[in-house]
Structure 1
């Protein structure tokens, strides 16, 4: 007999219009995590996946600061999150700040740096799913505060935060509204709204 969280996880498997890689269908962004510790070797696997992402001119502009729960650095990351994200992300086993280098080594703007950071996080997300680890990416982070608290050098930009942990946990650990969010069906816009052949369609 599946418990409610296991049922929710099954219900989150994407109902795709076209067949895609199973790990992509299974991935979703929970706000609760199991108690199992993320081992250092598994973290290394996640960052290794990010390391091998495609990047413009092979500049690899991504940088990461990560911390384990119950550490001073973890609490500093929590302090930089939006109030909404603090409510649940403070219980994640690992928190990460995702950062990109804004310029090339010769001082020119690297227009593609945010794109490349996104590619690295995509790699990390799929690798995590392969390990049965969940990632929840968060835009709700005070990047100016994070840059100051973590002494991020000039020329780098804190872009987002990520909560990492194994799928699992206790639904009752979330507030009622977040419990409903966990139960909600996944929604995506249809391809016709974003993939246009030959010319832009309004």
Structure 2
């Protein structure tokens, strides 16, 4: 793993898990170290081998490296909040999925499969010292029009990527506290995993 200890957060899992899963987190401030096209292709290759229902691989990814027209077009599709910090990312992506499968039947699993694709990307990225931050705040209709994406696809997320080690002071003041928070937290398993009937624990 190529992430320096000082760039990691305090994470306390209930059970021992792989370091690459334990140590991954989603910063908003990234190093100014450039990400190359070859590195992007490695990340996409990791995603390519994710599982999908019926192996239809419904994911579609638009990507752009900082300094290119595609990067700027992706940035312009983000909402105002995400634009306030995402311009320090070295790569921007949009993740979309095909809503139907063979015979125009609705693919209820496509969004899940896009998530699996991105989980592979995240894991590969972290192993390379690259951080990732997914964003719900992307104008999917604007992105669909901007990139000429057919109506049979839905743009689900934006993704910002850059090397760990960014300076939080480049962020808007209200985000600096979140960035500098050292302890990561998650709901305990007892709130979401049930060996028996479902329990409504919000």
Which TM class, normalised by the smaller chain length? Answer: over 0.9
Secondary structure of 1:163 counterpart:
strand
Give how far 1:19 is off. Answer: 0.4
CA pair 21-6 structure 1, distance change in 2 beyond 3 A: closer
Equivalent pair of 2:66/2:91 in contact (CA under 8 Å): yes
Equivalent pair of 1:13/1:27 in contact (CA under 8 Å): no
Aligned twin of 1:174: 171
Q: 4+ residue stretches of structure 1 with deviation over 6 A?
A: none
Secondary structure of 2:42 counterpart:
helix
Secondary structure of 1:98 counterpart:
strand
What TM-score, normalized to structure 2?
0.93
Within the alignment, does 1:40 sit opposite 2:37 as a pair?
yes
Aligned twin of 2:23: 26
Equivalent pair of 1:13/1:25 in contact (CA under 8 Å): no
Within the alignment, does 1:68 sit opposite 2:65 as a pair?
yes
- Structure 2 counterparts to residues 1-202 of structure 1, below 5 A: 7=6, 9-10=7-8, 12-184=9-181, 185-202=183-200
Give how far 1:171 is off. Answer: 2.1
Equivalent pair of 2:37/2:65 in contact (CA under 8 Å): no
Give how far 1:6 is off. Answer: 6.1
Give how far 1:16 is off. Answer: 0.6
Distance 2:90 2:65 in 1: 6
Extract unaligned runs of 5+ from structure 1: none
CA pair 73-40 structure 1, distance change in 2 beyond 3 A: closer
Secondary structure of 1:201 counterpart:
coil
CA RMSD between the two structures: 1.4
C-alpha distance after superposition, 1:10-66 (max 9, x if no partner)? 3x1421111001001110000011111112221111111111001000000001000
What TM-score, normalized to structure 1?
0.93
Distance 2:177 2:5 in 1: 15
Give how far 1:189 is off. Answer: 0.7
Distance 2:36 2:102 in 1: 34
Equivalent pair of 2:32/2:88 in contact (CA under 8 Å): no
Equivalent pair of 1:33/1:165 in contact (CA under 8 Å): yes
